[in-house]
Amino acid sequence: MRSLLLTIALLTPLFAAPTQEEFYLREEIPLPEGEVMEIGSIALMPEQKVAVTTRRGDLWICEGAYEDDLSKVKWTLAHRGLHEPLGMFYQDGSLVLTQRPEVSKLTDTDNDGKIDSFETICADWGINGDYHEYAFGSPADKDGNVWVVLCLTGSFNANSAWRGWCVRVTPDGEMIPTCSGIRSPGGIGFNADGDTFYTDNQGVWNGSSSLKWLKPGSFQGNPTGNIFYPNQSDIKPLANQPNDKSRITTERERIPQFMPPAVVLPHGKVGQSPTAVIHDHTSGRFGPFSNQVLVGEQTHSEVQRVFTEKIKGVYQGAVIKCLSGFRAGIIPMRLSDDGTLFVGGSNRGWASRGGKPFTFERVRWTGKTPFEILEMRAKPDGFVLTFTEAVDPDSIKPESFSMAAWTYIYQSKYGSPEVDQATPVIKSVKVSPDGKSIRLYIDGLVKGHVHHLISNGVKSANGGELWHRDAYYTLNEIPD
Amino acid sequence: MLISKHCHLRHLALLFILSSPSLLFSPSLAEDGKALYTLYCSACHAPDGKGANNGAFPPLAKSPWLGGTADRSIQIVLHGLQGEIEVPTDKDPHKIYNLVMPPQGGALTDPQIVAILNYVRNSWGNKNKPILLNDVVKNRRATAARTSMWQGNELLKKYPIQSNTSAPIMGLISEVYHGSWKTRPDFSKLDPDATYEEHKGLISIANAGKLKSFGMVWEGQLSITKNGKYTFTLDSDDGSAIYINDKLVTEVKGLGGMGRAKSGQINLSKGLSDIRVEYFEYTGEEGISLTMQGPGMKSPLSLSGTKPKKKKARRKPSIPIDPPKNGTAFYRGFIDGSTPRAIGVGYDGGINLAFSADHLGFELLWQERFYDGGRHWTARGQGNEPPAGKNIVKLTSMPAWGTLNSPTAKWQSDGTGITKRRFRGYQLGENDRPTFNYEVGSLKVSDVPAPEFDSKGITRTITIDVPSTGVPKNLHLLICNGLDVQEADSPNTYLLGKTMQVEIEANSSVPALVRNKELILPLQLKPGKNQITLRYQWK
């Protein structure tokens, strides 16, 4: 017996690089045959039913998506003929959808499996026939409001009412303009504290894609929709219009309402098209990342993890890659109470690494905790990293880390190169008594910059390697 | 920094820079084109340059868009590209793409663009002259004021793609002779009336300048890559002959039309061979076609450009949307002829309509096929798509409910006098037939279309619920605008244009207003429920 164990130990490399399969099981959910299921939104329903809508405008209900044997899933067509829904949730027997032209409540009043009532809640924003005038909608917030982010016309102009704005739609159907400054959203949702975040894509006035906090009244950075400030009275127009070819930190000084991106998702390095925003509310059923935000990534077919903290009144934090290998470009995500992550996607019109035209998948935690950076918190002179398990103190030395920092030009041109490069120097490190946290003392932090930390030398107390070594922290504010 | 602290190092560094002038002029050397391409471009164009997702996105491998002038490539990267473009793929030599390449000029530095383009233009079978940093700098400066993406056709106008980067026939010269012959003359004894350089390297009579009574002779060189037997196939109207290395290979004799093709074979060895083609046109139709087939050639190579290039009909993808048996189909994309919030309804039986949730009216009626999703359900789905069927009638194009303070007042497109106009949705009844609900001021309206398959029409029942306190004054319903309106023989019936009539049934003593291309119904409403029935019928 002992010799057998020894043999196994010798055959199993001690420092094998961790793989996703050890921690998360990703499975494709079979789709109804012959149907083009370019999934644009997902809603979790009672009795473990899952509703999905497609970009073509179909609504399907899936049963069996939680079962171990996915070959038995049953699909029921509930309706055909919606207008590109990109947001859906279940509420009191109905599905509430954000369609391109409206927020609507869909009900199967006679319980025959087909929707027969389509109630328009709010259609107060403009559309003009441009395909890029997308509307992404959130689930209901604690007041029952649906938050809708309205993409610019063609992603460049505000040719229809409220383009470039986030609006809230109350249960009565009133539309409350909430934030200007939006360019081209990919998804919207809440963090664990109930604050609303959306993803905005690299383009004009967005040097890189990012996760942004929709603080009511704030300006999100793209001035195109600012022409609509006079059409509402709750929010004061900006004192100054932003300057072109500037930096966000500079413009924040001039424009108090300017909300910097909470977490920049560096273009190319982390992704190219962020989408869905959800958070892990499952108290550990989805692994060790409770309360953290998960962001979908269309182009790279990935799910990324975001840790945030609030410093001096603004959110900031780090993005760390998480799940990969999805079969199409991810658009919507929903995480059920039992820790099943549902992911849908399409790559029509926007390419993705996952080469299928559309997909519906689920991900469940295997129960094995990856050795990973759990949190990255800013300090006046560095960062504190908290890990999912104790580190090997011998592996924690300044040479185990490296850091680069940069920012982007804030400009009317499309995107930005990485500029103002800096190389913060990790002077010293200190391990906490429980071995789970380490303090990095760093010279040369730069306010407003993305700080890319590479933790190449870090080992767990068990000798394991990090699943992901790269963390990108957006330092909007340096704490006092 | 290091260098300033250590003077000897600074001198060393200076020496190094001075001794490496190429570094000064090519900072692109510092950028890794392949790595940058992988990072920024490969998501759409694929790591192997063949276009992501099996060519659903345009390939760069062997793409003519990258060939020739560097300016075209640089401009696409700097400012982006959108609209329809044709890019040959392995499967389809005329593949049409209609996507968007976002501008990268703001995101990439000049050295990065140089590195990426030099990688792309010289990978996967592409071969082009290297781009220099100055090429990008010059392009950026020249189009600094540009704020919009290039449209495909606009870019091609400015930077045309040479149809053949290597012309099939090199150094091709054509001579035009004026004269009338019924057999091929001895051109060596004639003097040409004009001589042209044929840059495309193709046998073409485009330069003849006449349609009859002329002859042409072309001379150039063929580049032969493999030793072996080559077949030349010649067809012409009227006669022609081909000589390779001064040997007659084949001949189309005398007068006659195309369709008399003749083939001939000749052994050729690697290298250049002389080609000479003679041709004459007497009268009537004219044309010449020449192909070459040989070792290692998958298909015959056309050496002629006379064949009027048939514009390949753009294969518009078709995804028909039809109602289910005894059911109803819905479509809420952008329907041409109505507003962005149009809702298309197709009844099984070939009667269809579009209700505008913006204007709260029935704007389009049509027969037979309901709709085609091909435009909206492929690529990004730009633009409006008209109904798929026939006998389309556009009834209105303005808000349907409004106040008229006098019979001659202009129909207000903003619905003057109506404080609130609100679409509330629809319910589906038997066979999924919809009832549309909306609010006009304080009035609640339900609007129920019902198809009439026998009489080819639609009966529309409008029920207006009026609160006791809010009977509106001068409210009118726009039934038609934009078509010639005439009273028909039967009472309360009007002809709308040439193909449609409408019969109005309302609890009203006031007749409908027939104005210039407008039919407007004054509404005499009472508290409670009021009903109006409109019977639309194709004639």
Closest C-alpha to B535, from B365, B407, B392: B365
Tokens describing residue B267:
């052994």
Q: What is the mean pLDDT of each run of 10 residues along chain B (539 residues)?
A: 39 39 41 92 93 90 89 96 89 86 94 96 91 95 93 90 68 90 93 83 86 92 90 94 95 92 93 93 91 87 65 71 97 97 98 97 97 95 95 96 88 63 96 97 96 96 94 92 95 96 89 95 94 96
DSSP state of A345: E
CA distances from B79 to B69, B153, B206, B417, B518 (A): 17, 14, 36, 47, 47
B357 — contact with chain A (CB < 8 Å)?
yes
Residue that finishes a domain, picked among B302, B334, B363: B302
The answer to whether B43 contacts A417, with C-beta atoms less than 8 Å apart, is no
Q: Is residue B5 part of a domain?
A: no
A79 — contact with chain B (CB < 8 Å)?
yes
Q: Is residue A10 part of a domain?
A: no
Q: Is residue A29 part of a domain?
A: yes
Shared-domain flag, residues A290 and A322: yes
Beta strands in B137-286 (DSSP E): 150-151, 169-178, 194-197, 214-224, 228-237, 240-244, 247-252, 262-268, 271-281
Shared-domain flag, residues A126 and A235: yes
Residue that finishes a domain, picked among B158, B180, B201: B158
What chain B residue is nearest to A174 in terms of C-alpha separation? B422
Residue A13 has pLDDT above 90, yes or no: no
Residue to test with chain B: of A35, A59, A80, most B Cβ within 10 A: A80
Which CATH number does the domain housing residue B184 bear?
2.60.120.260
What chain A residue is nearest to B110 in terms of C-alpha separation? A417
Q: Is residue A207 part of a domain?
A: yes
Which CATH number does the domain housing residue A276 bear?
2.120.10.30
Shared-domain flag, residues B481 and B381: yes
Residue that finishes a domain, picked among A346, A365, A384: A365
Other CB atoms within 10 A of residue A90 CB = 17
Shared-domain flag, residues A426 and A330: no
DSSP state of B113: H
Q: Do the bridges between strand B81-82 and strand B150-151 make them parallel or antiparallel, or are there none, so unpaired?
A: parallel
In this structure, are residues B78 and B150 in contact, taking their beta carbons and an 8 Å threshold?
A: no
Shared-domain flag, residues B131 and B247: no
Shared-domain flag, residues A108 and A30: yes
Chain A neighbors of B104, CB-CB under 8 A: 414-415
Chain A neighbors of B80, CB-CB under 8 A: 414
Shared-domain flag, residues B132 and B83: yes
Distance from C-alpha of B112 to C-alpha of A386, rounded to nearest angstrom: 37
The answer to whether B357 contacts A80, with C-beta atoms less than 8 Å apart, is no
Of A349, A411, A415, the CB nearest to B99: A349
Give SS3 for A233. Answer: coil
Shared-domain flag, residues B387 and B486: yes
Which CATH number does the domain housing residue B334 bear?
2.70.98
CA-based nearest distance A82→chain B, Å: 6
Q: Is residue A9 part of a domain?
A: no
Chain B neighbors of A421, CB-CB under 8 A: none
Shared-domain flag, residues B328 and B418: yes
Q: Is residue A14 part of a domain?
A: no
| Surface of B (250-279) touching A: CB under 8 A | none
CA-based nearest distance A268→chain B, Å: 5
Residue that finishes a domain, picked among A365, A385, A418: A365
Q: Do the bridges between strand A437-443 and strand A382-387 make them parallel or antiparallel, or are there none, so unpaired?
A: antiparallel
Shared-domain flag, residues A301 and A341: yes
Shared-domain flag, residues A136 and A243: yes
Distance from C-alpha of A349 to C-alpha of B381, rounded to nearest angstrom: 8
Q: For residue B13, what pLDDT is reported?
A: 40
Shared-domain flag, residues B174 and B133: no
Q: For residue B314, what pLDDT is reported?
A: 56
Q: Is residue B307 part of a domain?
A: no
Q: Is residue B500 part of a domain?
A: yes
Give the mean pLDDT of A188-196: 98
DSSP state of B334: -
What is the count of structural domains for chain A?
2
Q: Crossing angle of helices B110-120/B133-142, nearest 10°?
A: 120
In this structure, are residues B52 and B45 in contact, taking their beta carbons and an 8 Å threshold?
A: yes
Q: For residue B3, what pLDDT is reported?
A: 37
Report pLDDT digits (tens) over A96-155: 999 999 999 999 999 999 999 999 999 999 999 999 999 999 999 999 999 999 999 999
What is the pTM assigned to this prediction?
A: 0.83
What is the count of structural domains for chain B?
3
Residue that finishes a domain, picked among B126, B158, B190: B158
Shared-domain flag, residues B277 and B410: no
| Surface of B (226-255) touching A: CB under 8 A | none
Shared-domain flag, residues B279 and B335: no
Q: Is residue B533 part of a domain?
A: yes
Shared-domain flag, residues B360 and B483: yes
Shared-domain flag, residues A114 and A223: yes
Shared-domain flag, residues A361 and A459: no
Residue that finishes a domain, picked among A365, A393, A419: A365
- Residue B224: domain span: 169-302
Which CATH number does the domain housing residue A378 bear?
2.60.40.1220
Shared-domain flag, residues B147 and B32: yes
Residue to test with chain A: of B341, B359, B430, most A Cβ within 10 A: B341
Shared-domain flag, residues B177 and B100: no
Helices (H) and strands (E) in chain B, counts: 10, 34
Other CB atoms within 10 A of residue B207 CB = 15
Shared-domain flag, residues A335 and A411: no
The answer to whether B383 contacts A123, with C-beta atoms less than 8 Å apart, is no
Shared-domain flag, residues A334 and A447: no
CA-based nearest distance A65→chain B, Å: 27
Shared-domain flag, residues A322 and A389: no
Q: Is residue B37 part of a domain?
A: yes
Q: Is residue A310 part of a domain?
A: yes
CA-based nearest distance A204→chain B, Å: 9
Q: Is residue A245 part of a domain?
A: yes
- Residue A113: domain span: 20-365
CA distances from A122 to A119, A126, A146, A164, B424 (A): 9, 11, 10, 18, 8
Q: Is residue B308 part of a domain?
A: no
Angle at B387 between CA B385 and CA B390, to 5 degrees: 140
Q: Is residue A404 part of a domain?
A: yes
Shared-domain flag, residues A437 and A392: yes
Shared-domain flag, residues B104 and B218: no
Q: For residue A11, what pLDDT is reported?
A: 47
Which CATH number does the domain housing residue B106 bear?
1.10.760.10
